[in-house]
Structures are given as structure tokens and as C-alpha cells.
Structure 1
Amino acid sequence: MEYNGWADEGFGAVADAFGRNFTDHGDLGAAVTVFVDGRKVVDLWGGTADERTGRPWERDTAVPVMSAAKGIVAVCAHLLAQEGRLDLDAPIADHWPEFARHGKERITPRMVLAHRAGLPVIDRPLTFEEVLAWTPVVRALEEQAPYWEPGTAHEYHGHTMGWLIGELIRRITGLTPGAYFRAAVADELKLTTWIGVPEAELPGLARLAEAPGTYPDLPADSLFARILTMDGALAFPGLDDPRGRNSPALLAAEIPATGAVSSARGLATLYAAAATGVDGA
């Protein structure tokens, strides 16, 4: 299997492992970028971006990376904290008064970022269209009561983390989290990374393909299934379902905890910039 790119001396094993993903593990297309202390040391890509057409995976091909959105939203929250515009230990309701209902008055951004806010799912049924529309989810969170005393226990806030922090970002900046990320971070770093993909970029995205046998068989009413699907509003796995992860409508919407789309270089550059700064990204 031929692939493109390079790896610095000392990182040849990364290139070897990347190649084996194709020859030994059936990967269709992929990319990997690695920074060490702000310096790029690996930049590899290869394979197919769309198995239906054979379109090749290019250096900056972007692909749905789903929950990587949580890191993007967290970076935005910490940037606002760094600027003194957000106190991670003050009540969310300081910026979002309507949130202070049903025992949520003392929930802080830090609790949400740590998945300890007691809001892993929303009990009110939502449609796919409502999830894409933003405001219905925000209103449902305002009416939701915590499942436990906030800050005392942990459960994966698979989708809710994004809307909780995302609405805070919107209240503070006047921008949706995807728009704020582009304005504050991504445009300056020239990242091929979005929460909410512009229409013009949709045709160039890699298309996800099902990998048989990789999904757990979850009862629809189990807590984890409810978390993954927002109580059935989203398809899982169902990549080619109209509500699935290849849906243009879903890719274009701002789903702030699971809707990230990025190239490997984009995501690696983001984290390198946040951790150490980057040299020649």
C-alpha cells in the first residue's frame, strides 16, 4: 500500500504502523499528523476518501471526527477563561439566567467539562430537526433536572456537554461555538476544522463507511444508547441513515459535542497550538 507524506528520523515506526492499517487491518483511507514540542514530525495520508467513487485521500482531506468536537469546545471555553470572560467555577446561570432552574443553579462550566453536571441526557423527546435547530435543545436543557447532585458523580455527557458549553460561548461572544472557533482560532491557524461545515466544503469530505462488528448491541432504552442517540433523535450507527453521520444536514449543523469535522493536520495543529505553540504548522 502506497501512501504520501513523511516522518522525521526517529518516527519511522509511526509510518510503518500507518501502512499496516491498510495492509493488515483493512483501512480505506486515513491521515496522521504528529507534533512534538510544537514541531511537526509526522505528516502522512493515503487511501480512499470515498469508496463509492474511489476519490483519493488528500493531504487536507477532512472527515467527521465526531467527539473531537468536545476538545474544540473545551479549547474555546479555556480561551474565554484565559481572557477573563468566563469563570470556570462560577455558575453557568451568571451568563445564562434561564438555566437556573430545577436544581441547576450552582452548576459550573468546570462541572460540565468534567462530565459531572448531572445532565448526561435530556428527558424531553427531540426530533432530528430540533437537534439541528439549536434553540430547542437549549430550551430542553433549561427545563431538565439533574440526574444527581451536580458535582458529586460522573457520567459521559456525550451530547449535552457541547450545548451547555456552546450556549455559554454564544451568550458571552454573540457567536455560535462553531463560528467563535473559526473567528478566534481556526482562521488564524488556517485549520481545515469545523463544527458546522460550510456548504462549499461538503463535497470534499471523506465519507464514513461501516465497519462490521464494531458497534455494541445496546438496548434502545439503556442510558448509554440514550446518550449516543439523544434519545433516538440521531441514528447509531446508521452512517447512511438520513439522520446519520454522512448526512449533509447533520454535517452542516452545529452539533457542538459530536459534530466536529477535521483533517488530521487541522486537529493536530489545534492541540499543538494549545499545548506548546506551533512552529511552521
Structure 2
Amino acid sequence: MNSQTLKGGTVSGYCKPDFSDVQAAFTRNFTERGEAGASLCVILRGEPVIDLWGGSANSAASIDWQENTITRVFSCTKGAVALCVHMLADAGALDLYAPVSKYWPEFQKDCTTTIPVWMLLNHQAGLPALRKTLTADEVCDSRELAAQLAQEPLFWEPGTTHGYHALSFGALLNELIFRITGLSVRQFFQREIAEPLDLDFWIGLPPEEEPRVAPTMLPNTTAPPASVNPVAAHVRNNLGAFLLNLNDSTSRAAEMPAGGGITNARSLARLYAPLSLDGSFAGKRLLSADALARMAYATSASGKDQTLGIATCFTLGFAKSWGLGRVPAGTGYAIGERAFGHPGMGGSIAFADPAEEFSFAYTMNQMNGSPSLDDRAQTLIDEMYKALGYQTRDDGFWR
């Protein structure tokens, strides 16, 4: 495509003609929906069909978003962490149905309830937060967080309900991976996934990559008042220091596996490409067919997540459509019935849809003030499914 000049930047990249409506929607995000800077990539049956980027990489609109610009993608990072766990299980190094304490003896050692590994993945473990306000240093130290979570009283009986483990998800799984491999999530992910798939994806940004980062722009909307839900209130207290230091180079360098990933849409789409196919991509096999089936199957769903207070649905480590057919802006999103991935706070998302064998990723620097998506991402998703011949998402899934 030819670059299109917009106020504050340009839109550049590649889009196959069959998906021109997706490209048009991406451009309209800048002119109609308050987009600052963003990237979008779709890989269909192993081939890139959309790779777009545009807008501004900073709040002053003085730097264009470039082909290799990267930005924080918040909880899209959780999908990368979950993939690490599933690879270990697929290789026989981890039993998803074994007690966490088999690998981490100190974990909840005084608890009378056995917590299996799979409950750490689908937000049923009952450890969504610590009952304290965390400092910035504590937020950035996943192993210290894990040590505290191992002793934290449970918020609910594991397996009886689910609530989004916003920060604790990463700390718990990082510790599990370390106990099994001797490697942190950052080390395991780089060696086993990022390098083989040629991903520009960092869980802990090296200093030399700093010049390419598009700083996160906080939402224009006023934050809601503190929730009367005590679980949500504790989660918010845990996240406070993190949110105050989003653009600090120290926080970008920290290994925060729940929400610290820094990347772009191209690399997120490449991450999910093997999950949309048979477990392999670009000549590299990551997983077996059995592992893919486990990753895609919903195991936690309710009309009211104990943390977020909205309808959510999770597989073992990934998210399905949220909203149960009710998807007003900021409270949910709709993808294909077999699709799975993860949204990121502020509006980013990446997912695989095995039914159509495509992976989709969208990243941006202007946050929307929501734990889920807004019209920017949902419109792009909608146009992609329409281009593939899908008709409706009235029941919460594209069909």
C-alpha cells in the first residue's frame, strides 16, 4: 500500500486487497476513534496478509510510529507466559494436573486444599492479589511476589469460582517455570520461543532497545472510584505502583510476566501463528495437537468475574470472547468461537483462530481506561471476520 499521511503521522505497511476493509478501519481509527500510534498484523494460513503501522509514537506527535516500533502490551504478555507452561507440559516436564507443591514445596504448605497447576492458568487458584499495597520495587520482583503469594491466605476455595489474577498470574507461573527449569520466564521465553520464531518481544527490555519504544499514554478518562468488591480493591492496590511507572526505563527492564511485555503486532501475530495451525510455524514446531486442544478449551466462565466484575471466559492460560453476547465498549469483546488469545489493559489484543487458521494482533500506545477492548480493536476484528465471510457476533462469538 502507499503510505497515507494523517495528522500526527502516517499509515504504512502491507495489506492484501481481500482485506482492504480492515486497512480502511485501521486508518479510520486515527481519524475517528482517537488513535495515537498503533500496529496491526494478521497471518493467514502461515502467510502475512496484513502488516500495518502508523500514527505517532509519542504524545507530542513529533515521532512517527515506525515499522520496528515496540510498546508495552500489558496482559497480552500472559499468552506468552501460558505458552511457556504448555510447552513444558507437552515435553513431559510438567503435569498440569499435579499439585503445584510437587514442583514448589513451599507453595501454600499450610493450606488443606490441593491446588493443581491448571488452576494457576485459568484464574481459579484463589490468589488474585496480596492483601497489601505494593511498592514499585515489589511489583518488579516476580520471585519476591511469588514467595509472598505462596503464604497468602486464599480469597476463595480453589476451583469453586474464578477471578482474574491480574498481577499474580505472572509471578506464580514464573516461579513454577523456574522451579522446573532453573530459568526465569524471560530466559525460557527468549530461548524456546522468541529466538526460534524471530520475535521482537521482550519480557524485560534490554537497554539498547529503549530508543524504539513508543511510551504508553494514559487514558483520558477519569479512573472509576474504588470498588466495593474487596478482591478488586486488593488487585488495584497491587497494581498501583506499576501504573505510576509505566514509562520508566527501570519498569520496562523489569521482568514482569503478567503485564510487562514489550513488542509489536507483527511479533504477537507470529507468536500466535503456530497456535492457529498445527503447532508449527516458519519451520519450527512448538507444540503437539493435543497441547493445542488443551489451550483452546474453555475451563473458566461466568457472568461475573470475581475480580473484574464482568463476564469473562478463560482456557488454561488464554482468554476466549468476553461478555457472553453483551459487548458494550470497554466491557468485553467478540472473536471466533474456537479462537483464543489474550487482551491487554488499555486496548491491545492478540489471538489465534484455528477454525480459519489465522493469527491476529493489534497494539497501540493510547490506553482506553479499560481492562478490555474498545471500538478500535473490535472494529478491526469485526472487519477481519467479515472479510472471511462471517455474518454475525450477536451471541458473543463471530459465526
Return the TM-score normalized by structure 2: 0.65
Aligned pairs for 1:237-252 within 5 A = 241=244, 244-252=245-253
C-alpha distance in 1, partners of 2:227/2:160? Answer: 27
Contact 1:122–1:141 (CA<8 Å) still a contact in 2? yes
**Greater Cα shift, 212-221 or 127-136:** 212-221
| Structure 2 residue aligned with 1:18 | 26
Q: Which amino acid aligns with 1:260?
A: G
| Structure 2 residue aligned with 1:102 | 110
What's the % identity of the aligned pairs? 38
C-alpha distance in 1, partners of 2:96/2:257? Answer: 18
Q: Give the drift of 1:154.
A: 0.6
Q: Provide, for residues 130-180 of structure 1, a one-character-per-residue CA deviation record: whole Å limited to 9, x for no partner.
A: 222333212211211211111111111111111111111111111110111
| Structure 1 residue aligned with 2:266 | 265
Contact 1:207–1:246 (CA<8 Å) still a contact in 2? yes
Q: Give the drift of 1:104.
A: 6.8
Q: Give the drift of 1:274.
A: 2.9
Contact 1:226–1:232 (CA<8 Å) still a contact in 2? no
Contact 2:132–2:237 (CA<8 Å) still a contact in 1? no
- Alpha-carbon spacing, 1:144–1:258, altered in 2? closer, same or farther (3 Å): same
- Partner SS, residue 193 of structure 2: helix
C-alpha distance in 2, partners of 1:221/1:157? Answer: 15
Task: Judging by fraction of residues, say which structure has more helix.
Answer: 1
C-alpha distance in 1, partners of 2:237/2:210? Answer: 23
137, 156, 168: which one aligns with 1:129: 137
C-alpha distance in 2, partners of 1:209/1:116? Answer: 32
> Does structure 1 residue 87 correspond to structure 2 residue 101?
no
Aligned pairs for 1:63-78 within 5 A = 63-78=71-86
- Partner SS, residue 43 of structure 1: strand
138, 142, 160: which one aligns with 2:146: 138
- Partner SS, residue 11 of structure 1: helix
197, 200, 203: which one aligns with 1:192: 200
Q: Give the drift of 1:257.
A: 0.7
Q: Give the drift of 1:5.
A: 0.8
35, 41, 47: which one aligns with 1:33: 41
Q: Which amino acid aligns with 2:93?
A: R
- Alpha-carbon spacing, 1:267–1:214, altered in 2? closer, same or farther (3 Å): farther
Return the TM-score normalized by structure 1: 0.90
Q: Give the drift of 1:128.
A: 1.5
| Structure 2 residue aligned with 1:168 | 176
The CA RMSD measured in Å over matched residues stands at 2.1
Q: Which amino acid aligns with 1:257?
A: A
| Structure 2 residue aligned with 1:208 | 216
Contact 1:89–1:110 (CA<8 Å) still a contact in 2? yes
| Structure 2 residue aligned with 1:278 | 281
- Alpha-carbon spacing, 1:221–1:60, altered in 2? closer, same or farther (3 Å): same
C-alpha distance in 1, partners of 2:76/2:269? Answer: 11
61, 69, 74: which one aligns with 1:61: 69
C-alpha distance in 1, partners of 2:155/2:60? Answer: 44
Q: Give the drift of 1:17.
A: 0.4
- Partner SS, residue 226 of structure 2: coil
116, 125, 145: which one aligns with 1:117: 125
Q: Give the drift of 1:229.
A: 4.1
Higher RCO, 1 vs 2 (CA within 8 Å, ≥6 residues apart): 1
C-alpha distance in 1, partners of 2:228/2:210? Answer: 31
C-alpha distance in 1, partners of 2:177/2:101? Answer: 13
Q: Which amino acid aligns with 2:80?
A: I
Q: Provide, for residues 175-201 of structure 1, a one-character-per-residue CA deviation record: whole Å limited to 9, x for no partner.
A: 110111001100111111111111111
C-alpha distance in 1, partners of 2:34/2:26? Answer: 11
Q: Which amino acid aligns with 2:250?
A: A
- Partner SS, residue 164 of structure 1: helix
- Alpha-carbon spacing, 1:220–1:194, altered in 2? closer, same or farther (3 Å): farther
Counting matched residue pairs gives 274
Q: Give the drift of 1:69.
A: 1.1
| Structure 2 residue aligned with 1:238 | none
